[in-house]
Structure 1
Amino acid sequence: MITQQKRILAGAFIGIAIQTAILIPLPKDNLVFTAYVFLLLAVIISAASLWQLSVSGAKNYLTSLAFPLALKGYLVLTILLAIVVVTLDLTGTWHLSPLWYAVINIVITGFTAWKLLAIGAGQTAITRVGDEIKKQTDDWKMLLADTESLLTTVPASMKESVSEVRDAIRYADPISHPDIAKLDESIRTGVIQLKKLVAENNESEVSALCQKIIDNVRDRSDRLKLLK
């Protein structure tokens, strides 16, 4: 168990202990008991949510700030509601029925659950986009690595053409777009063909293919500018 999870358990235990200690000297009427139950529920929900967050290992704005803030607001609102309603009831100033108190807490809990689910959906979307960007970047790095590897074995007469391909790929945006998928595939296929032609020492076709790959990379860059 990591330190963060130990802190979550300790915080939940302390929260429950404090609530129970406050309950002991109070009159055990239905409203006090209802408030106690919903305060326990708030602590348990908050601890369980933070525990799940720590287990997921996700690190970004939503998980490090938005998620804890939503839970903090839920806890503060639940505690303030219990203090105000129970104090007014015990002093005889105003009485709220346990049923209406439960309804209010259910609304607060439901709204918080909706917020947490929305944050969770945002986290999923961020992870998906991040994975897709990483894949695209890795694919483009592989193309660059292939051309750089090719430069170590290419004959001197072909080196300039292959170097131009390498530079075009190096300085291009690695992040792609679905609308230029065919161009990406054409560039990848071109690099594979280039490796074969270099191995065959086919200088005339190497030069033509290099120019075609460079034109495709430039066309890709121009279209990306329009799409972004």
Structure 2
Amino acid sequence: MRNKSVIFILTSTLAIGLLAGCGSGVVDKTNGSSGTPKATAPKQNEIVASFLPRIEIIEQGTGINVNYRVKNISGKAQKLTFSNGLQVDYIVYDESGKKLKQYSEEVMSTQAMEEVNLENNEEISKEFTITDLKNGKYKLEVFLTAKEEQARVVKDLLVEKAAFNGSGKYVGQIDPHTIEIDMNGTNTAFQLSDEAQRQLLALKEGSNVTFLYKENENGQKVIEKFL
């Protein structure tokens, strides 16, 4: 009788072990090579860009031409909400970081709110001409004014060929290369380029003149040409 009890206990234990190993018949293949991998959340420092901003700067004539473009690279349409008609703004800083000028403070724009649906791979573009910057080093910051995205770009700006429009009354000639012009009641000396010297022959003292001038490395004003 005792032997039968031992056999029964061993048989029951074996059966329970087999059932535990088989479970309900569902095999977990989550970590197997043939299973579907779990979706993983982005890492904490991982940033997925939705917009690609680009900027091109060309120094021409009397100003700096800036071409700013923003492309939607998110893979889907994106909505941008603007509080007014000014979609793009810029700020110019000097070398010390002091703000010198801002586009939105110099122009007028409509005050109506505007929504733009930018399709995937579609761009927003804006061109500026920045004037009245003397030769030197600056920082240029350009950005969208949208509530959802600003797409800021900051770039070093080197001005080497700054030119300005001037006007006044031709007072007279100081020497073959220098003349004096009355600008708002102040007599100002200007040196002359070769082209301006040739044009001077046709000017009369006391006549009103308009001209394009630059400042050289010594701070001297040089008339490039009369307009």
TM-score range, shorter chain: under 0.3
Higher helix share: 1
Q: Which of the two has higher C-alpha Rg?
A: 2
TM-score by length of 1: 0.24
